[in-house]
A = this chain, B = another copy of it.
Amino acid sequence: MATRGRPRAFDRDHALRTAMLAFWARGYESVSTTELAGSMGISQSSLYAAFGDKQSLFREAVAYYGEHEGAIARRALTTSDTARQAVETMLRQSADRFTDRSLPSGCMVVLAATNATAGNAAVQEFASELRRRDEAALSARLARAVTEGELPGHADPGALAAYYHSVLYGLSIHARDGRDRPGLHAIVDLAMKVWPT
């Protein structure tokens, strides 16, 4: 089943990465499809033919972000030996990522869709849902740590997950405000003192 019709003249994955970088740096509504097509080197028609509409493109761009940029921090949750190590690794690697000068600062899921007009409320809700999902994954990992005895029985996995995600969100804002890498790690140093014993 070879592909019929005229073949696409641009690299779809590369275009997606361009969209991710733009949305990540400036947010969903501050990036126009006209501008995106321009920096992709293609026409509006090609963009719409390849990705549907702007919202679909954004969702794909966020998915791309999750696979390429967010994957490392997320994998810490499943590969670390202890829950404590998982949390600290997640925060440390986020601190490193958020201050990578070759990429936009902070986390795309936190910063790219914080506000929107009424017509784009779905985009906001989409990002919010992703944040909830990540937090639920952390909460589950902490709950496992309680049953395994790594965390004391009185520890509240839900509250701890919300707390560490709160710090994580804060790192994004701080990174956007220009705080440097050691500054973010100093915050993580303090945040880890909360770990129950």
Interface residues of A (CB under 8 A from B): 26-27, 29-30, 110-112, 114-117, 120, 128, 131-132, 156, 159-160, 162-163, 165-174, 176-179, 183, 186-187, 189-191, 193-194
Q: Which residues of B contact A111 (CB under 8 A)?
A: 114-115
The reply to whether B176 and A163 form a contact with Cβ atoms under 8 Å apart is no
Query: How near does chain B come to A134, taking the closest CB pair, in angstroms?
Result: 11
The reply to whether A162 and B186 form a contact with Cβ atoms under 8 Å apart is yes
Q: Which residues of B contact A193 (CB under 8 A)?
A: 193-194
Listed from nearest, the 3 A-B pairs whose CB atoms lie closest are A166-B170, A27-B115, A169-B170
Expressed in whole angstroms, the Cα–Cα distance for A183 and B162 within the complex equals 8
5 contacts between A and B (CB under 8 A): A26-B117, A27-B115, A162-B179, A166-B166, A190-B194
Expressed in whole angstroms, the Cα–Cα distance for A40 and B169 within the complex equals 34
Q: Which residues of B contact A156 (CB under 8 A)?
A: 186
Q: Which residues of B contact A162 (CB under 8 A)?
A: 174, 179, 183, 186-187
The reply to whether B170 and A186 form a contact with Cβ atoms under 8 Å apart is no
Expressed in whole angstroms, the Cα–Cα distance for A193 and B114 within the complex equals 29
Expressed in whole angstroms, the Cα–Cα distance for A184 and B37 within the complex equals 42
The reply to whether B159 and A189 form a contact with Cβ atoms under 8 Å apart is yes
